[in-house]
Amino acid sequence: MENLIYLDNGATSYPKPDDVYTFMDSFYRRFGVNPGRSGYDLCMETGALVDATRKMLAGFLNGSDPNRLCFSYNSTDALNLIIFGMLKQGDHAITTTIEHNSVLRPLYHQNKFNGVEVDYIPFDTNGFVDPDDIKQKIKANTRLVIVNHASNVIGTVQPVEAIGRICREYGVPFAIDASQSAGKVPIDIEQLHIDVVAFTGHKSLLGPTGIGGLYVRQGVDIRHTRAGGTGVRSADRMHLEEYPYRLEYGTGNIVGIAGLHAGLKWIEKKGIDQIHHHEMRLTRMLIDGLSEIDGVSLHCQDDLVDHIGVISFNIDGMEALNTGTLLDGEYNIACRTGLHCAPLAHEQLGTAQIGGSVRIGIGPFNTEDHIKTAIEAVGEIVDVQKKK
């Protein structure tokens, strides 16, 4: 749409860098065959891009073995592989109330159908989980600690290094949901003591939808919860044990991998710190502007230390959905309203009963003008609301 101000980068990044669109098109036209299934040159060349992208992503996370980088459809898919492949009857898991449904629902299913016991650690008034609260809940049968890295509701980045250190000390596998953080915040699995990372390609990694993955550190294993074709050792009756085949099933999303490859290259060229700095400068501007409007409540935005450019707010006396509809209809501003698939976070924030919050997600292509317009628009909506 003409002149749309897109502030819904928490849902997916848009637009993508031009390189992503052009590379996906040229790659798929030239190399769009099924890699790893045959030995002809074109097939090998397609496979080379898949391998190169594995390598880039493993490097991005400081993972030592690119084969332990497995592609999935998105982070929901990767998180399902983790939660169903690492927990079984009699196990205990620890997570937080800031999680997305892609963590919560697999855990609810594991609890309901397999009796896995789960503890949900609340975040504090600033939006952070206390690592000691996690430590207090570790038991002899705790088999997984799984934590959202950066919140898709309030943008807080959890203290994963401290949590990881505790998990390592107690010998409990530690997984993070890096859906919002990968591409915005550096993730070094060694330094942060992380065992498994789930990521999605279409958000901050600037790739297309339908591609994501997970990295599994050496020494940690995920059981098969699926089985199927791998393109190699077809006579074996059982799905292969070795990575990446272990967690990859059927033909992958080749054009998605190409897009992700181009997205990663763009991030490398720009520099993750520069991208983050740009987004946080705009986030600061947005928060300062919204804070000055009497009648706007911001959630957990007191300071921007350990944050990404995702914020949530409500206009007093107004349903979040109505604010979003006005921003869209009257001002051509796209943002997201509702619970953002994180119902426990809204229960804790007290926003579940009022239809959730209005969320603004800032991306690398947003500008100061976008933010100024959004602040003015919210101010005008508040003025009209007050006159009612």
Ligand X SMILES: Cc1ncc(COP(=O)(O)O)c(C=O)c1O
Residue nearest to ligand X (CB): 152
Q: What region does 41 belong to: left with phi over 0, alpha with psi -120 to 50, or beta?
A: alpha
Question: Nearest distance from residue 247's CB to ligand X, in Å?
Answer: 15
Question: Nearest distance from residue 211's CB to ligand X, in Å?
Answer: 9
Q: Which is nearer to ligand X, 147 or 327 (CB)?
A: 147
Q: What region does 112 belong to: left with phi over 0, alpha with psi -120 to 50, or beta?
A: alpha
Q: Rounded CA gap, 173 and 92, in Å?
A: 12
Q: How many CB atoms lie within 10 A of CB 270?
A: 14
Question: Nearest distance from residue 72's CB to ligand X, in Å?
Answer: 9
Residues 6+ apart with CB under 8 A from 248: 70, 71, 72, 230
Q: Rounded CA gap, 144 and 172, in Å?
A: 6
Question: Nearest distance from residue 101's CB to ligand X, in Å?
Answer: 8
Question: Nearest distance from residue 42's CB to ligand X, in Å?
Answer: 30
How far from each other are the two terminal CA atoms of the chain, in whole angstroms?
Answer: 31
Q: Rounded CA gap, 311 and 358, in Å?
A: 8
Q: Rounded CA gap, 181 and 267, in Å?
A: 13
Q: Which is nearer to ligand X, 76 or 314 (CB)?
A: 76
Question: Nearest distance from residue 112's CB to ligand X, in Å?
Answer: 21
Q: Which is nearer to ligand X, 152 or 323 (CB)?
A: 152
Q: Which is nearer to ligand X, 158 or 366 (CB)?
A: 158
Question: Nearest distance from residue 335's CB to ligand X, in Å?
Answer: 14
Amino acid at residue number 165 = R
Q: How many CB atoms lie within 10 A of CB 223?
A: 12
Can you state the angle between helices 41-60 and 254-270, rounded to 10 degrees?
A: 40
Q: Which is nearer to ligand X, 148 or 283 (CB)?
A: 148
Tallying the residues shown for the chain, one arrives at 388
Q: Rounded CA gap, 200 and 264, in Å?
A: 12
Q: Which is nearer to ligand X, 150 or 172 (CB)?
A: 150
Question: Nearest distance from residue 181's CB to ligand X, in Å?
Answer: 8
Beta bridge partners of 147: 176
| CA 29 from centroid of its chain's CA atoms | 29
Q: Which is nearer to ligand X, 63 or 213 (CB)?
A: 213
Residues of this chain that bind ligand X (CB under 6 A): 74-76, 100, 102, 148, 152, 177, 179-180, 200, 212, 341
Q: Which is nearer to ligand X, 33 or 341 (CB)?
A: 341
